[in-house]
Structure 1
Amino acid sequence: MLKPNVLRNKKDFSALYNKGRSVGDRYVVLFFKKNGKAYNRTAFLASKKVGKSVIRNRARRLMKESYRSIEKDLAIGYDIIFIARKTILNLKYADVKKSMEAAIKRSGLRKKLK
C-alpha cells in the first residue's frame, strides 16, 4: 500500500509548479500550495545538476531527515516540494536543517501558536 503523504502524480507536480508559491534558500528551494486535505504531502528532489546518483541520494536523505524533525511545527493541508540546490554538496545535517527551517519560516508554513 502506498503512503498517502507522498506526492507522486505528474498533475500534482505540475499544479504545484504552475500555481504554487516558491521560496529559495541557500541550499534548498521550497514549493508549496494548499491541497485541501487533512495532511501534508511532500516530495524531495535533486536534479542531475547536483551530482551523480550517490550525491543526489545523499541530498534527498539529508532533506528527508531534516523534514522529519521539522514536520511537527508545520501547518496542515499543504503540498510541499523540497528541491536540492547544487550548493548542498558536502554539507552536514545541521546545515541542511537550518536552511530548510529558514525557507519554511519565510514561506509562512509554520503552525500558528495559540
Structure 2
Amino acid sequence: MLKPNVLRNKKDFSALYNKGRSVGDKYVVLFLKKNGRNYNRTAFLASKKVGKSVIRNRARRLMKESYRSLGKDLPIGYDFIFIARKTILNLKCADVKKSMEAAIRRSGIKKEKK
C-alpha cells in the first residue's frame, strides 16, 4: 500500500515545476503549489551535484526529519518539493530546519509566530 502523501508521478512533478512557485534559501529550494486535496504531498530531492549516494541520502534524511516537526504547522492542500543544495553538506538537523522554516515563511503560506 502506497502512502498518499508522497509525490510520485511525473505529471505531478512537471506541474509543480511549471505552474508552482519556488522559494530558495541557503540550504534548500522549495517548490509549492495548491493541490486541491485535504492533505499535503511532499517529495525530498538531492541531485548528484550534492555528492555521492551516502551524502545525498543524508541530505534527504535531514530534510525529512525537519519536515516532520514543521509539517504540523503548515496549511493543508499543498504539494511541496524540497530540493537540497550543495551547501547542505556537514550540517546539523537544526540548521536544515531553520532553512526550511525560512523558505516556508518566505513563500507566504505560513504566517510568522508572534
The TM-score, its normalising length taken from structure 1, stands at 0.96
Question: Is 1:52–2:44 an aligned residue pair?
Answer: no
Q: Deviations over 1:67-96 (max 9, x none)?
A: 000001101000000000000000000100
> Residue 74 of structure 1 contacts residue 111 of structure 1 at CA under 8 Å; is this kept in 2?
no
Which amino acid is the alignment partner of residue 82 of structure 1? F
- Identity of paired residues, percent? 88
> Residue 22 of structure 2 contacts residue 32 of structure 2 at CA under 8 Å; is this kept in 1?
yes
Shift of 1:110: 1.7
Question: Is 1:79–2:91 an aligned residue pair?
Answer: no
> Residue 105 of structure 2 contacts residue 112 of structure 2 at CA under 8 Å; is this kept in 1?
no
Aligned-partner Cα distance in 2 for 1:30–1:59: 14
Shift of 1:108: 1.6
Aligned to 2:33: 33
Shift of 1:112: 9.1
Aligned-partner Cα distance in 1 for 2:111–2:15: 24
Aligned to 1:63: 63
Question: Aligned Cα RMSD in Å?
Answer: 1.3
Aligned-partner Cα distance in 2 for 1:28–1:70: 14
Aligned-partner Cα distance in 2 for 1:3–1:110: 25
Aligned to 1:10: 10
> Residue 29 of structure 1 contacts residue 84 of structure 1 at CA under 8 Å; is this kept in 2?
yes
Q: Deviations over 1:29-74 (max 9, x none)?
A: 0000000000000000000000000000000000000000000110
In the alignment, structure 1 segments of 5+ residues that lack a partner are none
Aligned to 2:21: 21
Question: Is 1:89–2:111 an aligned residue pair?
Answer: no
The TM-score, its normalising length taken from structure 2, stands at 0.96
- Alignment size in residue pairs: 113
In the alignment, structure 2 segments of 5+ residues that lack a partner are none
Does the residue aligned with 1:81 lie in a helix, a strand or coil? strand
